[in-house]
Structure 1
Amino acid sequence: MKLTTGQTYWDKTAKPADRFTTLEKSIDTEILVVGGGMSGTLTAYKLASAGKKVTVVDRDEVGKGSSSANTGLLQYCSDTMLSEFVDRIGEEDAVLFYKMCLEAMRELTEIASTLPETTGYRLRDSIYYASTENDVDKLKREFSYLEKYGFPAEYLSNEELMERYGVDKPAALRTWNDAEVNPYQFIQALTAENLKMGVTYFEHTSLDMDSITDDTIQTGAGDTISFESLVIATGYSKLYRELNDKAQINQTFAIATKPIEGELWKDNVMVWETKKPYLYFRTAPGGRMIAGGLDQESSDLHENAEVILQKGQEILDEITEIFPHLEVEIDDSWNSLFGISKDGLPFMGRSAETATVYYLLGFEGNGTCYSMAGASIILDLIEGNQNKYAHIVKPSR
């Protein structure tokens, strides 16, 4: 399945950490990670750091799948509000899930501090604004839960939002402990660290995902990979049978603008909104802006570059309504797939069908944060340790 069309931006900003050979023989490994994107890379890092022998196999090139289409907004808040999760899964689990995400953001920040600055990882505040007056009460209720449990958040009235950020919207939440990242550079830098820890990589190697047994999988060429544990970190490339009635694949649009001089807006905050589908945007090094939105309930990506550019211009027009002083032009525009779950939660944990198989699928719009949390969950499950978050996101829920 094609994951993106158009011209993405991030993969033009760095060279791969290395080029890896195609697997052309049968091998065995302790842990096989399928997928070399953000999820697979973070999983390999976490497992290798714990002393596991890890092999990563990607059907294309490391970091070139949906990760290269990621807009790089990293937040502990989910597409689904904490208050909405309280209604869906109960207050205790809702709070646990948000604590899981906040812990994951802190771990990502710690990992990033060990990597080269070229990963573009920067701590940022986020502004989550009410798209209409009707959403103000929703934001107030959300803030009451965030405040109750000590999450880093602040409520801003229209007056405060205008005075501090020049955004004329009814109200907003400001959150912190969030971050921005160049996902492609981050993956390449982390891959270099994984190689130092002995992780083995193979690229341009397809796997027959329907051939999985308790301890083997077949490559497209007919070779066998034997494993003790297998982690499926394939992003949105396949909707697995176990998840068929729990998830779907949609599409979204994104842009990177040409660079301009000067500050785009105050504090380079990351901005998103309560409307669904929502607009989201951030700054990037060199005076660029990265933005996305206009989600569609379809997995049929557009091939026409003019259509993709038109959608990108619609995104840019929405942003310039908020910041009319901006005079920016689109440099790159793309259309990509993303997965959503019916309950708003990712799928991370042991398969209900095969005890040696684990899913790490960060469905919803917070995939990097979820991937970090999921890597920790899977490590605990493999080692037989209790994990207080695992029951919330288990694929069999």
Structure 2
Amino acid sequence: MKLTTGQTYWDKTAKPTSSFPSLEKNTSTDILIVGGGMSGTLAAFKLASAGKKVTVIDRAEVGKGSSSANTGLLQYASDTMLSEFVDKIGEDDAVLFYRMCLESMDELTKIASTLPETTGYRLRDSIFYASTPNDGDKLKREYSYLKKHDFPVEYLDHQKLVEEYGIDKPAALRTWHDAEVNPYQFIQALTAENLKMGVTYFEHTAVDMDSLTENAIMSESGAHISFDSIIIATGYSKLYSELNGKAQMNQTFAIATTPIDGELWKDQVMVWETKKPYLYFRTAPGGRMIAGGLDEESSDLYDDPSVIQRKGQEILDEIKEMFPHIDVEIEDAWNSLFGISKDGLPFMGRSPHQDNVYYLLGFEGNGTCYSMAGATIIQDLLEGTPNPYAHIVRPSR
């Protein structure tokens, strides 16, 4: 399945850490991770740090799948608001889920502090604004729940939002513990650390999921891979049968602009909105802006560059309405797939059908944060350690 079309930006900013061979002969490992994107890379880091023998395989190249289309906004807040989760799954689990995300953001920040600065990892505040006056009431309710449970949040009324950030919208929430990242560089830097810990990588190695048995799987080229446990971290490349009726594929659009001099907006905050589908944007090194939106309920990506460019221009025009002083043009524009779940939660944990098969699928728009959380959950499950969040995101729910 094609995951992205058009020209992505991040993979132009760095060379791969290494090129890896394809798997040509039988092999064995403690943990087999299928997928070398953000999810697989974080899982490999966590498990290798715990002393596990880990092998990562990718059907293409490490970090070149969905991760290269990631816009790199990392937030503890989900596409589904805490107050909405309260209505869906109850207040206790809703708060636990948001607590999981906040802890995962802090862990990502800790990991990033050990990596080269070239990963572009920077702590950033987020501005979540009400798209319409009616959404202002939703934000007030959301603020009350976040504040009640001590999440880092501030309510900005219209006047304060305009005065501080120049955003003429009804109201907004400011959150922190959030960050921006160059996802491709982050994956490459973390891959280098994984190699130091003995993680084995194979690229251009696809597996036949239908060949999966209790402790082995076959590559499409005929190599036999035996394992104690397998982690499926294939992103949006496949909807597995365990997810039937629980998830679907959508497509989204994103842009990277040409660089400009000066400050784009105050504090380089990351900005998103309550409307669905929503507009979101952030700054990037060199005075660039990264933005996305215009999600569609379709898994058929556009191949026509003019269509992708037109969609990208719609995104840019909407931002220019908010910040008329910005004079930039699109440098890169792309169209990519992403998965959404019916309940707004990712799928992370043990397969309902085989105890040593684990899914690490960060569905919804907060994939990197979810991937960090899922890597920890799976590590705990493998070690028999109780995890307070595992029941909320289990694939069998």
TM interval, short-chain normalised: over 0.9
Letter of the 2:50 counterpart: A
TM superposition shift of 1:213? 1.2
Separation in 2, partners of 1:177, 1:9: 25
Residue number in structure 2 paired with 1:255: 255
For the pair 1:104 / 2:116, whether they are aligned, the reply is: no
Alignment-derived partner of residue 335 in structure 2: 335
Q: Deviations over 1:125-161 (max 9, x none)?
A: 0000000001011000000000000000000000000
Tell me the amino acid that sits aligned with residue 211 of structure 2.
S
Specify the alignment match of 1:305 in structure 2.
Answer: 305
Distance 2:141 2:231 in 1: 38
- Give the count of matched residue pairs: 397
- TM-score under structure 2 length normalisation: 1.00
3-state SS, counterpart of residue 210 of structure 1: helix
Alignment-derived partner of residue 87 in structure 1: 87
Report the AA paired with residue 27 of structure 1: T
Partner of 2:245: 245
Q: Which amino acid letter does the alignment assign opposite residue 145 of structure 1?
A: Y
- Give CA deviations for 1:67-117 in whole Å, capped at 9, x if unaligned: 000000000000000000000000000000000000000000000000000
- Deviation, structure 1 residue 222: 1.4
Determine the structure 2 residue equivalent to 1:48.
48
Task: Look up the equivalent residue of 1:271 and give its one-letter code.
Answer: V
Whole-angstrom CA distance in 2 between matches of 1:386 and 1:166: 46
AA aligned opposite 2:164: R
Structure 1 residue 117 corresponds to structure 2 residue 117: yes
Counterpart position of 1:163: 163
Aligned equivalents of 2:307, 2:248: Cα separation in 1: 23
Structure 2 distance, partners of 1:279, 1:352, is 36
Match of 1:27 in 2: 27
1:37 maps onto 2:27 in alignment: no
Query: 1:153 corresponds to which residue?
Result: 153
Question: Counterpart amino acid of 2:371?
Answer: S
* Structure 2, unpaired ranges of 5+: none
**After the TM superposition, which residues 229-308 of structure 1 pair with which residues of structure 2 at under 5 Å, given as runs?**
229-308=229-308
CA distance in 2, matches of 1:336, 1:342: 20
Q: Distance in 2 between matches of 1:173 and 1:211?
A: 48
Q: Which amino acid aligns with 2:192?
A: A
Alignment of 1:314-393 (within 5 A): 314-393=314-393
Match of 1:194 in 2: 194
Give the partner amino acid of 1:131.
S
Please say if 1:185 is aligned against 2:194. Answer: no
| Structure 1 CA distance for aligned equivalents of residues 19 and 209 of structure 2 | 24
Aligned-residue CA RMSD (Å): 0.3
SS in structure 1 at match of 2:86: helix
Partner SS, residue 261 of structure 1? coil
**Offset at residue 346 of structure 1 (A):** 0.1
Return the letter of the residue paired with 1:123: L
- Shifted more, 282-291 versus 215-224: the winner is 215-224
Q: 1:77 aligned to 2:77? A: yes
Q: Which whole-Å deviations, capped at 9, do the CAs of 1:305-340 have from their partners, x for residues lacking one?
A: 000000000000000011011000000000000000
Alpha-carbon distance between aligned partners in 2 of 1:63 and 1:281, rounded to the nearest angstrom: 22
Distance in structure 2 (CA, Å) of the matches to 1:285 and 1:214: 47
SS in 2 for 1:123: strand
Extract unaligned runs of 5+ from structure 1: none
Distance 1:223 1:113 in 2: 38
Structure 1 length normalisation: TM-score? 1.00
Q: Percent same amino acid among aligned pairs?
A: 79
What amino acid does structure 2 have at the position aligned with 1:7? Q
